[in-house]
Amino acid sequence: RPLFARAGLLSQAEGSAYVELGGGTKVLCAAWGPREAAEPGLPAGGGGWLLCEFRRAPFAGRGARWRPGSAAEREAEREAAAALREALEPAVRLARYPRARLAVSALLLQDGGSALAAAISAAALALADAGVEMYDLAVGCALCQSPGPAAAWMLQPGEPEERRAVARLTVALLPALNQVSAVLGGGQGSSPDGWAQALRLGLDGCHRLYPVLRQSLLRAARRRDAAAAT
């Protein structure tokens, strides 16, 4: 499914990005650079601390599986925020920000499927747009498998396919380093070879999306330079 990405939309955030998938999923992310962190519980190594937030808009659409504001939705948002942090931390050079806090917030405007994968890509773009030092952009791809003994894995599935799926997978990759930063998901009905095939398909999808994200970041930098020159 096609992907549209744009970085540098929000003037009130240090970095921002918008990602839209062909199935209708729309995610808006904002990021803030290092701030002195006085909170307890900072990493023992003295590096920075990445805070991630994931929220669903009340009007997120037909993909909403819970009532807005319900306990189930809040728990799902916490789980998505934890997954977002797991996928992004390997991409950020946290050692460059000793005892500092970086933050990224993802808002799901419309859920058409593959929402976490879209949020990973958008959040990585927003952090890079904020000038945060990174090893590489994290790119997310989602997969799911429908019921059936010979069912194929679908890349970047829509919400109807996700709802019927017996197995789901979200892969986050740092393409320039060819390093997997996170593999999230689970399910049943697929053999070990089937899971391996799904992982290969997801990694290939991440490599294909990478140029789109890089171009959106370069365009944002050009717009910023042009605005500074005027």
pTM of this structure: 0.91
d(CA 230, CA 228): 6
Q: How does pLDDT run across 119-152, given as a tens digit for each residue?
A: 999 999 999 999 999 999 999 999 999 887 678 8
- Pair 115, 29: CB distance under 8 Å: no
Which sign, positive or negative, has the C-alpha torsion 67, 71, 74, 80? Answer: negative
Q: Determine the average pLDDT of the residues in 11-22.
A: 92
pLDDT tens-digit series, residues 89-127 = 999 999 999 889 999 999 999 999 999 999 999 999 999
User: Looking at the domain covering 3-229, what would its CATH class be?
Assistant: alpha beta
Query: What is the DSSP track for 143-183?
Result: EEE-SSTTPPEEES--HHHHHH-SEEEEEEEETTTTEEEEE
Do the beta carbons of residue 142 and residue 114 sit within 8 Å? yes
Q: How confident is the model at residue 61 (pLDDT cuts 50, 70, 90)?
A: low
For residue 185, list its beta bridge partners. Answer: 169
- Rounded Cα gap, residues 20 and 78, in angstroms: 22
Sketch the domain layout of the chain as residue ranges: 3-229
* pLDDT higher at 150 or 14: 14
Is residue 14 scored above 70 in pLDDT? yes
67 versus 85: the higher-pLDDT residue is 85
Angle at which helices 71-88 and 115-129 pack, to 10 degrees? 50
The band of 12, judged by pLDDT with boundaries at 50, 70 and 90, is confident
Q: What is the pLDDT of residue 41?
A: 54
More confident residue, 228 or 199: 199
Q: Does 150 or 209 have the greater pLDDT score?
A: 209
Report residue 227's pLDDT band, with 50, 70 and 90 as the boundaries: confident
pLDDT above 90 as % of the chain: 62
Query: What contacts 129, CB < 8 A, 6 or more positions away?
Result: 7, 8, 14, 15, 16, 17, 31, 217, 220
Instruction: Quickly tell me which residue has 């020159």 as its tokens.
Output: 229
Q: State yes or no: pLDDT of 83 exceeds 90.
A: yes
pLDDT at 171 over 80: yes
pLDDT higher than 60, residue 44: no
pLDDT confidence of residue 81:
96
Say if residues 5 and 19 touch (Cβ distance below 8 Å). Answer: yes
